Amino acid sequence: MSAIPEAFQKKTEAMEAAAIQPLPNSEKIYIQGSRDDIRVPMRKIKLGDTTSSTGIEKNPDVFVYDCSGVYTDPTAKINGRKGFPDVRGAWIDDRNDAE
């Protein structure tokens, strides 16, 4: 097997580093799933204040499901050549409904 060309390696590393950069005014968080080993990815979005005739009104954060996988998680170690960790394997095995 031949070595990966250096230019390709550098571009790949840059892409993997960019993939975990945070999105503006939001933060990736996880909430506890139905099992101890399941973490549901969510995005906590910070809203700006609303100005009205009565003054400034603070808006609460909005939480939405985050389907980006490990991407945008600053703690993630992304290596597209090695693949991603199996985060659902035990859950699927315990259900006994898949081969």
Band of pLDDT at residue 37, cut at 50, 70 and 90? confident
* Rounded Cα–Cα distance for residues 14 and 62 (Å): 31
Render pLDDT for 48-92 as a digit per residue (tens, 0 to 9).
999 999 999 999 999 999 988 777 787 877 777 787 778 888 889
**Nearest CA among 19, 30, 37 for reference residue 92:** 37
Q: In the structure encoding, which two tokens stand for residue 91, read together?
A: 């859950």
In degrees, rounded to 5, the angle at the alpha carbon of residue 97 between the alpha carbons of residues 96 and 98 is: 100
Q: Are the C-beta atoms of residues 72 and 23 closer than 8 Å to each other?
A: yes
Each domain of the chain, given as residue ranges in start order, spans 22-95
Whole-model pTM over 0.75: no
Average pLDDT taken over every residue of the chain: 84
